[in-house]
Amino acid sequence: MDWQSWLIGIVGRALAFGTPLLWGTLGEIYAERAGVVNLGVEGMMVLGAFSAFAVAQSTGHPGLGILVAAVVGGIAALIHAFLTVTLRANQYVSGLALTMFGLGLAGLLGRGWEGIPLRQPLPSVTVPGLSKIPLLGPMLFEDQSILTYTGLILAVVLWLLLYRTRWGIVVRSVGESPATADALGVNVFLIRYLCVIFGGVFAGVAGGFLSVEYRPAWTEGMTAGMGWIVIALTIFAAWDPLQAIWGALFFGALYHLSYRLQAWLPPELLKLMPYAFAILVLAIAGLSGRKRGAPGALGVPYTRGEK
Amino acid sequence: MKRFGPFLFERRLAPPRSVVLGVSMLAVMLALLVGAAIFAGYGVNPWHAYATIGKSTLGSRYGLMEILRRAIPLLLCGVGLVIAFRAQFWNIGAEGQLLAGAVAATGMALFSGIPGPWLLPAMFGAGFFAGATWGMVPAFLKVKLRVNDVISTLMMNYVMIYIVEWLIHGPWKGPTMRGFAYTDTFPKAAWLPTLPLSRVHWPTLLIGVVAAILVALILNRTRLGYEIRVVGESEGAARYAGINFLRVSLWVMILSGGLAGLAGVGEVAGIHHKLLSPTQVSMGYGYTAIIVAWLARGSPVVAIVTSLLFGLIFAAGDVIKTVLRMPFQVTGVFNGLILFFLIGVELLMYWRVRLASRGERWTGKAGSSGS
């Protein structure tokens, strides 16, 4: 195999595997920008993956599956929002509970659906014209999911929204200094609810992508820790939607390489690569020493009229 | 103070024990109630389900023994997590630390050649060491490089899971196991004794109980324990007092990871007698132990009780699988629900409710005086 097809394969598959990571990370960035850590990404993703598959399989409409996954992710996130924003529960513990609950529930409901290939996966698209560009064409514009492109576009849109609009300022101020935002008349609770639910919707889509597009089937635990990679990517991307693209691509490539290199190394050792790298990149980010711009009130419940 | 109708709600800083216990039990009850709805949704009569579970777990000697045997790893991991949580160190990595202990014990049992009576102590020693080492990495990364502890401990779980997978598929795959992904069976000298007609490997249980008491003493009676508590309660105060964060964090994770490592030794030496797939070695004990520790609210001794409660849930999972023919994953749902409700009702503990006296009710004095 020559180097060109290697490169095309790696970048193309990195885009594909990076897609759920990108969606998940974009959602988590918004939740955390509003000051709420949601460690339930893995749980929301797996619920999304299962519901998308179940709906797509029984209706024959993969698009509907993705839609339902988004709603299910949003509802799951609503539980987290209620516990952490209204009841001011510990965000870490609530997120962990959501992950346990999601993995358990998806495993429970999904029992009868294991191992059936999806009858109608989400069709992949080849962009006419652009796919004819040498090297870049087959790399980026051939046989990709529509969700890959929407993810990339959304990353740009969400970046603009966050840094170039009044809306973005409101979201960031709620995460940075909720008391100040409150004093200026921003409804802190509402913004936090909306951002957490938004994060859940994106995590749901990320899961749905896995089960109706990437590997069109349902297997228990098919998210395999991707939800946690998302949390790491959020930090790695310094809560910036544009940087999330590079992070997602990098980890997408790692996931792909863990299959691709199996001729040379034992598959089990390759599979641990993304997780080891997640620690590594955070350590390198720490080593570089600069403050990574975490939202000031991240993880802190807000109580009106205190402090 | 707030008033709703005839009730006055007053804030309190330290809820009495009876309230903590009552509210915690309320949470578990609420979770069981939602659980009933899940059973019903699955087409199983909830009363029948709970009655069957009760009869087959609490109602028989075998059932009680199964609760006990499930509680052993939960206790060891849970006590370790109590230490970590007291120091505000988010160790979500007990699962990996447990597996590290299992790997070290397997290495000792199969390849060390240590003679008979010394083999088991060596396995426990190696297990503690491996778990502690696996735990120290995130501690170092957190203090020195500000790597988020939730992420690092969690990622270390996945890394260890795949190391175990590699070992049992590759270098440690047992030649006598006819192609199955196990190691060979341990020599008899590496088997932990069990209580008659049960799988309760009592030496590990004993270690767990002793560990709970020792950790309570460490936390309450030693300088290290004092430093752990200061670090956990106020980082600013800890810095002001000149406490060495790296030293305290490393000790916290040596103890936390080491105890989880011991749990791993117990599982391979007491139950399986070989190393096998990570999901079979642990079944998520390291994650469930988070709830064990959270419910114990910082007390290692209370963790003895809470580990029994979750031992019951695991034992119930077996019953649900074999008798009610529902997937074992129900336990995950229950664990999540209990945790949801535990933190959901937490706010209740910090409010005292009493009936307003006539005067307060009519004058409305209690209206908005600050909390």
DSSP string, A41-102: HHHHHHHHHHHHHHHHHHHS-HHHHHHHHHHHHHHHHHHHHIIIIIS---HHHHHHHHHHHH
Q: Does B152 touch chain A (CB under 8 A)?
A: yes
Residue A104 and residue B330: Cβ atoms within 8 Å?
yes
Cβ-defined contact of B150 to A39 (cutoff 8 Å): yes
pLDDT bracket for residue A63 (50, 70, 90): very high
Give A35's pLDDT tier (boundaries 50, 70, 90).
very high
Q: Which of A104-113, A146-155, B112-121, B350-359 has the lowest mean pLDDT?
A: B350-359
Domains with residue ranges and CATH for chain A: 12-287 (1.10.3470)
Better-scored residue on pLDDT, A208 or B10 = A208
In chain A, % of residues over pLDDT 90: 63
Residue contact A103–B332, C-beta within 8 A: yes
CB A248 within 8 A of CB A155: no
Test B346 with A108 for CB contact under 8 angstroms: no
- At B369, is the pLDDT very low, low, confident or very high (cuts 50, 70, 90)? very low
For the packed helices B285-295 and B245-266, what is the interaxial angle rounded to 10 degrees?
120
Q: Is the CB of B336 less than 8 angstroms away from the CB of A275? A: no
CA separation for the pair A21, A42 (Å, rounded): 11
CA dihedral of residues B87, B93, B95, B98 (deg, nearest 10): -70
Element counts in chain A: helices (H) and strands (E): 13, 2
Interchain CB contact of A89 with B (< 8 Å): yes
A271 touches chain B (CB under 8 A): yes
- Mean pLDDT highest for which of B92-106, B163-177, B348-362? B92-106
A275 touches chain B (CB under 8 A): yes
* HEC profile of A8-57: HHHHHHHHHHHHHHHHHHHHHHHHHHCCCCCCCHHHHHHHHHHHHHHHHH
Task: Give the pLDDT confidence of B244-262 residue by residue, as tens digits.
Answer: 999 999 999 999 999 999 9
In this prediction, residue B368 carries a pLDDT of: 41
CA–CA separation, A45 vs A56, rounded Å?
16
Please give the structure tokens belonging to residue A49.
Answer: 């993956």
Whether B22 shows a pLDDT value over 80: the answer reads yes
Q: What strands lie across the sheet with B351-355, from one edge to the other? A: B2-4, B7-11, B351-355
**Minimum distance, in Å, between the CA of residue A139 and any CA atom of chain B:** 30
Q: Is A104 on the interface with B (CB under 8 A)?
A: yes
B336 at interface of A, judged by CB pairs closer than 8 A: yes
Asked whether the predicted pLDDT for residue B367 surpasses 50, the reply is no
Strand, helix or coil for residue A306: coil
Cβ–Cβ below 8 Å for B151 and A235: yes
The C-alpha of B118 sits at a distance from chain A's nearest C-alpha, in angstroms, of 33
Q: What is the pTM of this model?
A: 0.91
CA atoms within a 13 Å half-sphere pointing along the CA-CB vector of A258: 18
Nearest to A97 by CA among B174, B291, B352, B171: B291
Tell me the Ramachandran region of residue B325: left when phi exceeds 0, alpha when psi lies from -120 to 50, beta otherwise.
left
Q: Which of B38, B140, B141, B148 to mutate to test the interface with A (most CBs of A within 10 A)?
A: B148
Give the nearest partner residue to A228 out of B154, B339, B347, using CB atoms: B154
How many C-beta neighbours within 10 Å does residue A130 have?
A: 12
Tell me the chain B residues in contact with residue A93 when contact means C-beta distances shorter than 8 Å.
290, 294, 339, 343
The mean per-residue pLDDT over the stretch A146-153 comes to 93
Return the half-sphere exposure (C-beta side, CA atoms, 13 A cut-off) of residue B86.
29
Q: How far is A97 from chain B (nearest CA, A)?
A: 5
Contact residues, B window 247-286, toward A, CB-based 8 Å cutoff:
none
What's the mean pLDDT when you consider all of chain B? 90
Q: Which pLDDT value is given to residue B371? A: 36
Q: Which two tokens stand for residue A16?
A: 């594909």
Query: Which residue of chain B has the CA closest to A236?
Result: B147
**Banded pLDDT at B362 (limits 50, 70, 90):** very low
| C-alpha dihedral, A77 to A83 to A84 to A90, nearest 10° | -120
Long-range contacts from A181-184, C-beta under 8 angstroms, 24+ separation: A182/A302, A182/A304
The confidence band for B313, taking pLDDT boundaries of 50, 70 and 90, is very high
Helix (H) or strand (E) segment spanning residue B103: helix B94-111
Could you tell me the pLDDT band of residue B365, with boundaries at 50, 70 and 90?
A: very low
Q: A72: pLDDT confidence band, cut at 50, 70 and 90? A: very high
Strand partners, B4: B7
Mean per-residue pLDDT for A106-112? Answer: 89
Residue B7's φ and ψ, nearest 5 degrees, are -100, 140
Low-confidence winner among A44-53, B28-37, B89-98 (lowest mean pLDDT):
B28-37
d(CA A233, CA A243): 9
Classify domain B45-325 by CATH number.
1.10.3470
- The more confidently predicted of residues B308 and B115 is B308
Rounded Cα distance, B186 and B163, in Å: 20
Nearest neighbour of A100 by CB, restricted to B150, B335, B347: B335
Question: How far is residue B7 CA from its own chain's centroid?
Answer: 38
Contacts of B165 in chain A (CB under 8 A): 268, 271
pLDDT of residue B324: 87
- Phi then psi for B15, rounded to 5 degrees? -70, 140
B44: contact with A, CB 8 A cutoff: no
Task: Give me A38's structure tokens.
Answer: 């949601």
Q: Tell me, yes or no, if B306 comes closer than 8 A to chain A by beta carbon.
A: no
Where do runs of H (alpha helix) occur along B42-93? 46-57, 61-86
Chain A residues close to B155, C-beta within 8 Å? 228, 232, 275-276, 278-279
Question: Are B170 and A220 an interchain contact pair (Cβ–Cβ within 8 Å)?
Answer: no
- Cα(B157)–Cα(A78) distance, integer angstroms: 28
Query: Token pair 């990195």 is at which residue?
Result: A14
Q: Please tell me the distance from the alpha carbon of residue B287 to that of residue B115, in angstroms, as a whole number.
A: 35
The whole-number average pLDDT for the span B333-353 is 86
Structure tokens at B211: 């560990």
CB contact, 8 Å: A286 with chain B?
A: yes
- Written as six digits, the tokens of B128 are 């503690």
Q: How far apart are CA B286 and CA B131, in angstroms?
A: 12
In sign, the C-alpha dihedral spanning B27, B33, B39, B45 is positive
pLDDT at position A1 over 60: no
pLDDT averaged over every residue in chain A: 90
Q: Which residues, numbered 174 to 233 in chain A, qualify as contacts with chain B under a Cβ-Cβ cut-off of 8 Å?
A: 220, 225, 228, 231-232
- Section A181-187 average pLDDT: 92
| Mean pLDDT, residues B181-194 taken together | 93
Tokens of A261: 């290199």
Q: What is the pLDDT of residues B55-109, one digit of tens each?
A: 999 999 999 999 999 999 999 999 999 999 999 999 999 999 999 999 999 999 9
Using an 8 Å CB-CB cutoff, list chain A residues near B147: 279, 282-283, 286
Query: CB–CB of A44/A208 below 8 Å?
Result: no
Is residue A33 very low, low, confident or very high in pLDDT (cuts 50, 70, 90)? very high
pLDDT above 70 (res A307): no
Q: Do the chains contact at A97 and B340, CB–CB below 8 Å?
A: yes
- B162 to A269: CB separation less than 8 angstroms, yes or no: yes
pLDDT at residue B366 in the model: 43
Question: What is the pLDDT, as a whole number, of residue B283?
Answer: 87
> A72 vs A304, which has greater pLDDT?
A72
Q: CB–CB of B75/B117 below 8 Å? A: no
Comparing CA positions, the residue from A227, A167, A230 lying closest to residue A194 is A167
Lowest-confidence range among A129-138, A286-295, B151-160, B308-317?
A286-295
Confidence of residue A305 (pLDDT cuts 50, 70, 90): low
Asked if the Cβ–Cβ distance from A100 to B158 is below 8 Å, we say no
